Each structure stands twice: as C-alpha cells, then as structure tokens.
C-alpha cells in the first residue's frame, strides 16, 4: 500500500516489476529435536502454511532463458548439451515477515512461530533440495528476531545452517531493558507496550509462560549463545526504540566470533527500509545487495553451490505455473496468466536480447545491477551529511557506498563491550 501511494504521487522511483507466485504446503512430521519435538509430534499433515515466491524481473527473464535453453539441449548431442548447460548457482532468501505467513499471537503462543519458520526452512532444504549454503535468512522487526532464533535452533540441534542472515531492525530483547526504549520513544513509530494492555504483544506471544520464556534465547535471542552462527548483516535506525539492543547484538555476536556487519542509519526509525522515499532505505538495500554479492563470496568459498537438475525442475514447477502473476513496482497486479507472463517481453531491454539468444554470461551480467533502486551515478563528497554509521566485523573495510553520506566506525571482535551497552540478540 505504501508503494502504491508513493507511485501515484510520483514522489520516488518505485521498485521494478517482479514475478510473484503463491505457494501453500502441508506441515508434516520431521522428527524435530529440542523444544519443538512436542509440537512436531502433533502434526498430522493437515495443517497448511502459505507464502509466495518473489522473483525480480531480470532474474525471472534469465531463468526463463536458462530453462528454455535446457529444454532445447535435450534434443542435441552431448557436447551441445554441455555448451547449453546454464549456471545454476542461485541464492534463495527466506524472508520471515513476508515470504512465510507464519502463525501469529495471540492465537499461537511461543514457540509456535518458530516451529513454522523451521518448517519453511526444512521444506526448502529437504523437499526442494536447495543446499542450505544457498539460503539467506532475512527478516524485519519480530521477524528479524525470529530469523535469529531459527539460526540458533538449527545450530543447537546440529541441523545444517543457512549461508547468512540479514536482520533489519530485529527485536531481540523482549525485556525492553535498553535505554533507547525511553530516549527514542518520542521519535519512533513503535509504541511502548503497556503491561496491563490485553493487546501487549509480549504477553500475547508468551502467554501464561511469560516469566519462563521472557529471556529464553529463542524468544529474546540477545540472551543466547551466538557462537557458530553464519555471517550476519544487522541494520538498525538511530531513532528507533530498538537501537541499543540492535547495537548490543552486533557487539555480542562479534565477540562470539561471528562475522558481523552492523549498520546504524542516522535519523531512521524502526524498519525504515519499508519507506523507499528515504535515502537511508535505498542505501540499506544497496548495502544488503553488496553484502550478498561481495562480502559473502570470500567468506563462503564453497557457496552458493551449483543446483542439481532435480532442484531446478522443482523450482521451475513452483515458480512457473498458472498462479504466477506480475506485480508492478507500485504494488498492483498487471498480469495473472502464465502465457501472458511469458510473452511480456517489454518489461526490460533484456527481453530483446533473449530473442537474439544472448549468452548466459551476458545475461548474468545484466542481473548484476539492482533493479529495485536507482544507483547514484556520481558519489557525493565524503564530507557530506552523515546518514549512515557503519560498524563492521573483522577487517573493518568498507568497499562500496555513497561515501558522502557514510560515517564508518569499526568495532573489532577483541573489544570488550562498552560499559553503557546492553547486549540483546
């Protein structure tokens, strides 16, 4: 709705078109361990979870090209088949608070939402056979905290971990004990939950077991052990009530040996990434893309893995079907039938190149530019206004970004926590 209103008003360029395919799957027993074992035992295969696949237009066009080339190569010689074999090193982002419609409080108490997130993750790696290294967990607000809890649950129970995590304004401390809940209350869009309110989200989430679970690592990840987690990109706003716990989470994870990239955006409120008219929002998504494309590469030399043929076929069936629709940047549906989607070659100039049998490498290079944000052609002067404060892990480098609106701070893992800091996860 926000994107639609801004598109109508012409305030900012809206994101590019995307292919959106609804998906529903049944939750089945998976012999889950730990805190979810009892919940897993109750599943009889009748309960359903829903979500959607969202594929950017350029990625969709490239996938279409690869699938068509693969289909064509079946009738050719083995040598020609190898020549037409596309590169299938795709990453999948499991976005919690968007891609997965997990159960919410008060109808479902803790750890019900964690069970749904775990079920969605295992559907990707077990049912669709997507390598866990190719998966990036992402989430915002409570979904960011749930994404972190999911990684901790997987680690604690010796399940395969995803390749990385992207946490946007994650809510990781349900005790609300950080100072920024008071100091930023006048600026942020998030109200302070009242203890006696029957709609208090914490009470609704934890129910009658509030005292038991308030500091449980899967409810308030800040109080958990962060060792052994995959690389994390953690973004927060300088004006949000969760600022302090987000900052402390980044410090605690860094001290635990996790590769952390922490970004604090000046004058930004809770989940500011949802307001694309803000410079901070555009920079945050540019930084997230750079984190995936550049930062993870040297850290994960064996990831992403090449997808097997059966994985490609399963993904094709899930994404390329009659329920798929093209959603424009302003949030409105433009096409709903598969045949119309496949014939819609005017979405981008890339489509014209497809008709000329553009090579896979050329088409892949087209996909390198983000289609959801306008990149600055000229970087501002480094002495410009500061809109983003960045703290990195390990090497402290900052390879890209509009330097005129960035101030860099580096907190190496060897540093002790500041005395005024309160760690949350």
Catalytic residues: 141, 240, 270
341 burial (CB, 10 Å; 0-12 / 13-18 / 19+) is buried
Closest CA to 296 of 184, 135, 70: 135
Residues 6+ apart with CB under 8 A from 152: 217, 218, 221, 224, 225, 226, 229
Closest CA to 230 of 289, 303, 307, 125: 303
Please answer whether residues 174 and 219 qualify as being in contact, where contact means their C-beta atoms are separated by less than 8 angstroms: yes
| Alpha-carbon distance values, 421 to 98, 112, 248, 250 (Å) | 31, 31, 6, 11
Please answer whether residues 341 and 327 qualify as being in contact, where contact means their C-beta atoms are separated by less than 8 angstroms: no
In which element (H, E) is residue 409 found?
strand 406-410
Please answer whether residues 26 and 41 qualify as being in contact, where contact means their C-beta atoms are separated by less than 8 angstroms: no
Please answer whether residues 374 and 279 qualify as being in contact, where contact means their C-beta atoms are separated by less than 8 angstroms: no
Backbone angles phi and psi of 50, in degrees to 5: -125, 160
Instruction: For residue 260, give the 3-state DSSP assignment.
Output: strand
- Crossing angle for the helix pair 112-122 and 142-156, to the nearest 10 degrees: 70
CA distance 340 to 280: 36
CA distance 204 to 15: 35
Instruction: For residue 127, give the 3-state DSSP assignment.
Output: helix
Express the helix, strand and coil content of the chain in percent, nearest 5 each.
40, 15, 45
E-strand ranges in 208-344 read 232-237, 260-265, 325-327, 333-335
């Amino acid at each position: 709705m926000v994107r639609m209103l801004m598109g109508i008003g012409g305030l900012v360029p809206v994101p590019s078109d995307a292919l959106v395919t609804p998906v529903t799957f049944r939750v089945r027993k998976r012999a889950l361990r730990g805190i979810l074992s009892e919940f897993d035992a109750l599943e009889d295969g009748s309960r359903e979870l829903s979500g959607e696949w969202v594929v950017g237009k350029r990625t969709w066009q490239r996938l279409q090209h690869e699938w068509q080339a693969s289909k064509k190569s079946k009738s050719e010689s083995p040598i020609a088949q190898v020549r037409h074999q596309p590169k299938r090193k795709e990453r999948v982002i499991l976005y919690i608070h968007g891609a997965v419609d997990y159960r919410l409080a008060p109808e479902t108490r803790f750890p019900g939402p964690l069970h749904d997130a775990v079920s969605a993750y295992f559907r990707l790696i077990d049912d669709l056979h997507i390598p866990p290294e190719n998966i990036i967990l992402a989430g915002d607000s409570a979904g960011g905290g749930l994404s972190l809890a999911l990684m901790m649950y997987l680690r604690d129970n010796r399940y395969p971990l995803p390749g990385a995590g992207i946490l946007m304004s994650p809510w990781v401390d349900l005790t609300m004990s950080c100072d920024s809940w008071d100091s930023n209350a006048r600026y942020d869009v998030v109200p302070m939950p009242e203890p006696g309110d029957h709609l208090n989200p914490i009470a609704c989430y934890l129910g009658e077991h509030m005292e038991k679970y308030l500091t449980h690592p899967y409810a308030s990840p800040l109080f958990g052990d962060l060792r052994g987690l995959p690389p994390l990109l953690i973004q927060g706003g300088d004006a949000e009530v969760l600022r302090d716990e987000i900052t402390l989470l980044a410090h605690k994870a860094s001290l635990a040996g996790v590769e952390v990239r922490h970004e604090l955006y000046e004058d930004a409120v809770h989940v500011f990434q949802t307001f694309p008219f803000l410079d901070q929002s555009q920079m945050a998504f540019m930084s997230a893309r750079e984190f995936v494309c550049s930062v993870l590469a040297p850290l994960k030399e064996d990831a992403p893995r090449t997808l097997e043929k059966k994985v490609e076929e399963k993904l094709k069936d899930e994404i390329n079907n009659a329920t798929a629709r093209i959603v424009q940047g302003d949030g409105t549906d433009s096409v709903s039938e598969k045949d119309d989607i496949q014939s819609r070659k005017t979405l981008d100039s890339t489509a014209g190149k497809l008709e000329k049998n553009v090579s896979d490498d050329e088409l892949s290079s087209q996909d390198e530019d983000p289609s959801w944000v306008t990149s600055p052609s000229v970087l501002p002067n480094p002495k410009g206004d500061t809109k983003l404060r960045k703290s990195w892990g390990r090497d402290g480098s900052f390879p890209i970004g509009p330097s005129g609106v960035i101030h860099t701070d580096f907190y190496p893992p060897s540093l002790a926590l500041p005395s005024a800091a309160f760690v949350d996860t």
